[in-house]
Amino acid sequence: MKYLCLAYEEERTLNALSKDEWEVLRGETLGYVEELRKSGHLIAAEPLQSVRTATTVRVRNDKLSITDGPFAETKETLGGFFLISATDLNEAIKIASKWPSARLGSIEVRPIEEGLPEERRYS
């Protein structure tokens, strides 16, 4: 089964890391990405640019609304994602818990819906 792991972080916390602390975290992350790739769990992983570069798009009553920045005002923002293959939610959680930046932020683990259900979007 596929799971999307969304890495939330506080930009201020990451920016406060010293150069040495950042290099350690970066090295751990790249090492873990390689470990997941070799084990066959990793499908894709990408960091996102700063939330300051985000644009939020909404269409209501056929009117387009564009807002610079994220939709929600939160301290932790989406910093990246990794898409994994795991046998079940427990394995996905185990994999997500070892993502290095989970120590500084949080990882949301969500199962991928195979196809778009005919009945309704969310059960």
* Domain map (residue ranges) of the chain: 2-111
**SS3 state at 112:** coil
Mean pLDDT value of segment 15-40: 97
Do the Cβ atoms of 89 and 107 come closer than 8 Å?
no
pLDDT at residue 70 is higher than 90 = no
- Retrieve residue 112's tokens: 């991928």
d(CA 75, CA 82): 21
Do the Cβ atoms of 36 and 95 come closer than 8 Å?
yes
Mean pLDDT value of segment 106-116: 93
On average, the pLDDT of the chain sits at: 93
pLDDT at residue 121 is higher than 80 = no
Closest CA to 48 of 94, 82, 95: 82
- Retrieve residue 6's tokens: 């969304």
Give me the pLDDT at residue 71, please.
63
d(CA 45, CA 32): 11
d(CA 72, CA 69): 9
Mean pLDDT value of segment 11-21: 94
Give me the pLDDT at residue 74, please.
73
Give me the pLDDT at residue 114, please.
85
Give me the pLDDT at residue 122, please.
77
pLDDT at residue 15 is higher than 80 = yes
Task: Give the amino acid at 36.
Answer: L
pLDDT at residue 72 is higher than 70 = no
For tokens 């939160």, name the residue. 74
Mean pLDDT value of segment 43-71: 91
pLDDT at residue 73 is higher than 90 = no
d(CA 79, CA 15): 13
Report the topology of domain 2-111: Alpha-Beta Plaits (3.30.70)
